[in-house]
Structure 1
Amino acid sequence: MSADLVVVGAGVVGAAGAYFAALAGLRVVVVERGAIAGGTSSAGEGNLLVSDKEAGPELDLALYSQRVWREDLGEHTGLWEFEAKGGLVVAASEHGVASLRELGEHQRRHGVEVRDVAGDELRDYEPHLAPGLAGAAFYPQDAQVQPMLVVAHLLRLARAHGARVRTRTAVTGFLRDGDRVTGVRTTAGDLPAGAVLNATGTWAGDVAALAGVHVPVLPRRGFVLVTQPMPPRTIRHKVYAAEYVGDVASSDAALQTSPVVEGTGSGTILIGASRERVGFDRTFSTEAAGALAAKAIVLFPMLRDVRAMRTYLGFRPYCPDHLPVIGPDPRAPGLWHACGHEGAGIGLSAGTGKLIAQALTGRAPDLDLGPFAPDRFPDTVPATEEAPR
């Protein structure tokens, strides 16, 4: 059995790549060493954001992905609970408001919709916000999906176009014809293919190493708190403090927390966000959880009386320059990558999948993939970085 494309990884990025490649007529096989959405895709909040991105290639990809979610995938939005809730970025001080206004002005020039919100208007957006906040910026393009449903349904739609999905099948190496990658070796046998897409998230560096190439994707741990169900629209939007944007762009390995609060269709409230580089350590962090709870209460004092039912954690696939790795790898022809999206993978997956499918079928991608080139990094991991383990 052979394929035009083997997709390694059945998370949201791999599922999007498989769907758009199958839609384009390619014979696709997806291989996943565990269960579908068993990694980072099952541990996110499902955010589709433009608000947290500064002008540059990632913002361009985010805006493109927004169009793909709403247009190419628009008929399927009900399958994955797409909610165009909008994002509210809140500042506690006038200095913070000034920074938000400056960021918003840059973003507007690149097609982002931003509304300036004065302090006395905040309660119109979120009645339970703490009093005395200085102002905010509202981003109507921000949205949310249920990521597990996205993965499951994109793979189902891919199968409807002929794709095959093999779970519990680990890739152990690559088939080669000289330097060229011609398929994968798996625990269930060899799979010849015209191309292989590495969409393995935080493990993408390990998979790339099997082909003898270096892709410095590292795990960045984050926790989310989940509250008891609350009345509908207790929290109306995705709401976060202005410092969240800086945390997203930071390369600091130490623990960082900034309040991110949003409701779900079931009534539970999700509270994030923390970031730290601790390898794949799954140990519960009381420090991180306590900081998240305390900062969320500062933003929404009513949460002081709301019970947290559980926490969960995940590992964002982090690249040192905060840009994903997307496209063909010239060091191993036939090998492609779609990984390293850090905490934005859910939102960027749709655009990434469509761009990969365009390039694989010989079409000019709608966006220049140059900034995301797999070979843009040094050949070795810098001493300040942790290799995945």
Structure 2
Amino acid sequence: MAAIASNVIPKPYPTTNAIVSSLRNPSSCCFALNSSLFGDKFLGKSLVASTWSIQRNRSNGSAPFRGLKPIKASSHTFDVVVVGAGIIGLTIARQFLLESDLSVAVVDAAVPCSGATGAGQGYLWMVHKTPGSDKWELAMRSRELWEMFVENVQRQGMDPLEMLGWKKTGSLLIGRTPKDSAMLKRRVDQLSEAGLRAEFLSPHDLLLEEPGLMIGKEGGAAFLPDDCQIDARRAVAFIEKVNRHFVSEGRYGEFYNEPVTTLLRSGRGEVKAVQTSKNTLYNKKAVIVAAGCWSGTLMHDLIMDSGFDLDVPVKPRKGHLLVVENFNSFKLNHGLMEAGYVNHAEGALHSSVSASGQVDAECLSISMTATMDAWGNLVLGSSRQFVGFSTEMDESVINRIWERAGEFFPTLREMSLRDFCERRKVRIGLRPYMPDGKPVIGAVPGLSSLFLAAGHEGEGLSLALGTAEMVANLVLGNPGKVDLAPFALENRCCMLR
């Protein structure tokens, strides 16, 4: 599960509310050049109260973006304004900064990693993706770009593990029945034909790879040895550092803790500026909305007085992850997920709350995923359920995740989750779900210079770099590397004129 937010109160990055192009000393950009950038020391506390307030408002799906009036707004001008500071928004900004001479502003109602990006499981896996599907080309291109990204980090004399939490663990898609094994063998054939290194592991071979795992005699696994893991927070911090190098050139600005309140348009309908609670950000070329699961309500509110209504069907899909810190009862050598995760991830949206307000148990799906991060923490998932914008923790869901993991790891059956109460953390967040399972990426018809990039659900991290390249090429008029048609708004988002 790649895209869920931190539990209860996310640890915010200690950034000022706005870093604008007038700043000439990059070191004044808080942690931009701080030696503790990639450690826990840079996680400050001064913004906890304000961030928590924003998160509470966000839980109802509307408050951060509507009914707010600008306060003594000042004006700034950029070529591109990106709304959303998750992995999608920040990589879009990076793409423009590195591949063009345009200036970019990033605006967000909170701070980076306080939404879906912040505390996901952090895998960049292809083992559960389907060759030939609409997302396959984008996934392959993103994979290529991530590998180029890491090679560049290495060329600069830095350690990708330290900088990004990057490690090549390989991934295992695991089945426990003859039917699962037959499906996994077909998947291995498909992945191999698509050019990836893939092999099927028998139960005996799988036990050699993962001694702590038990699947019985009739199962097996699809194994992709080249799949990687990454730490989302470290990757975001690194990308922010790259972006902030352009502050001194007057090409980059950050406006965090600033909810967007409206769009300013010309008489011809062209979007000219983004109004936040504190600033007016004029754009010369494009406004890109990349606000995760809030993109639908945000888009509706921003264009409600434009003469037509755009229905972007991005829905919040809640997820829980369980993290046991400094876990040493057994070691995972690879990233694992059960075969049922594929259908679990593609489950349809349906009603989840009864008239009494209780969550309908039938809406909850749980599939085993297990990773061990670079610091020895066991990360278990994952749950999926539609409960609106609620981010309340459900202890019963955590217990079910633990029990599900115990079906695959016998050692866990001998342990009580209470034994880890001092070393456990729960991550809860909202994935941006699209009913057809594909992100929506492209221009908004009828509103010149307005673009959308949202709906990546649990694949924001793995699809980020390909999405950023796609958006930048679209805005700049460059030929694309990936076919945009499957992701365009047309015939997927309802527009009422």
Indicate the TM-score class for this superposition, using the shorter chain for normalisation.
over 0.9
| 2:167 alignment partner, one of 56, 71, 83 | 83
Distance in 1, matches of 2:443 and 2:199, equals 38
Secondary structure of 1:138's partner? strand
Q: Deviations over 1:48-101 (max 9, x none)?
A: 121122231212211111100011453233421111111111111111100111
- What does 1:164-313 align with in structure 2 at a 5 Å threshold? 164-177=253-266, 178-193=268-283, 194-209=285-300, 210-211=302-303, 212-231=309-328, 234-253=331-350, 254-304=363-413, 305=415, 307-308=419-420, 309-313=424-428
Match of 2:474 in 1: 359
Secondary structure of 1:57's partner? coil
Distance in 1, matches of 2:110 and 2:486, equals 31
Secondary structure of 1:174's partner? strand
Match of 2:95 in 1: 20
Q: Deviations over 1:202-221 (max 9, x none)?
A: 10112211124221110000
Distance in 2, matches of 1:227 and 1:289, equals 12
Q: Is the 8 A contact 2:198 2:225 kept in 1?
A: yes
Secondary structure of 2:109's partner? coil
Query: In structure 2, do the counterparts of structure 1 residues 328 and 233 end up closer, same or farther at CA, with 3 Å as the change threshold?
Result: farther
Q: Is the 8 A contact 1:11 1:200 kept in 2?
A: yes
Aligned length: 381
Q: Is the 8 A contact 1:331 1:375 kept in 2?
A: no
Distance in 1, matches of 2:102 and 2:208, equals 49
Q: Is the 8 A contact 2:121 2:371 kept in 1?
A: no
Match of 1:9 in 2: 84
Match of 1:43 in 2: 119
Shift of 1:110: 2.9
Distance in 2, matches of 1:131 and 1:200, equals 40
Shift of 1:376: 2.8
Q: Is the 8 A contact 1:233 1:263 kept in 2?
A: no
Shift of 1:332: 1.7
Distance in 1, matches of 2:107 and 2:493, equals 29
Query: In structure 2, do the counterparts of structure 1 residues 297 and 380 end up closer, same or farther at CA, with 3 Å as the change threshold?
Result: farther
1:121 aligns with 2:205: yes
Distance in 1, matches of 2:327 and 2:280, equals 50
Distance in 1, matches of 2:391 and 2:221, equals 35
Distance in 2, matches of 1:327 and 1:233, equals 45
Amino acid at match of 2:383: S
Distance in 2, matches of 1:67 and 1:376, equals 30
Match of 1:384 in 2: none
Query: In structure 2, do the counterparts of structure 1 residues 174 and 351 end up closer, same or farther at CA, with 3 Å as the change threshold?
Result: same
Match of 1:149 in 2: 234
Match of 2:62 in 1: none
Give the CA RMSD over aligned residues: 1.9
Shift of 1:338: 1.3
Match of 2:28 in 1: none
Q: Is the 8 A contact 2:122 2:232 kept in 1?
A: yes
Amino acid at match of 1:248: A
Distance in 1, matches of 2:149 and 2:402, equals 38
Q: Is the 8 A contact 1:18 1:155 kept in 2?
A: no
Query: In structure 2, do the counterparts of structure 1 residues 233 and 69 end up closer, same or farther at CA, with 3 Å as the change threshold?
Result: farther
The worse-fitting range, judged by mean Cα deviation, of 66-75 and 168-177 is 66-75
Q: Is the 8 A contact 2:269 2:448 kept in 1?
A: yes
Match of 2:45 in 1: none
Distance in 2, matches of 1:232 and 1:155, equals 36
Identity %: 30
| 1:139 alignment partner, one of 208, 216, 224 | 224
Secondary structure of 1:124's partner? helix
Match of 2:484 in 1: 369
Secondary structure of 1:213's partner? strand
Amino acid at match of 1:71: M
Distance in 2, matches of 1:22 and 1:232, equals 45
1:335 aligns with 2:450: yes
Larger radius of gyration: 2
Shift of 1:44: 1.0
1:326 aligns with 2:417: no
Distance in 1, matches of 2:128 and 2:347, equals 12
The worse-fitting range, judged by mean Cα deviation, of 259-268 and 248-257 is 248-257
TM-score normalised by structure 2 residue count: 0.73
TM-score normalised by structure 1 residue count: 0.93
Query: In structure 2, do the counterparts of structure 1 residues 318 and 169 end up closer, same or farther at CA, with 3 Å as the change threshold?
Result: same
Amino acid at match of 2:275: R
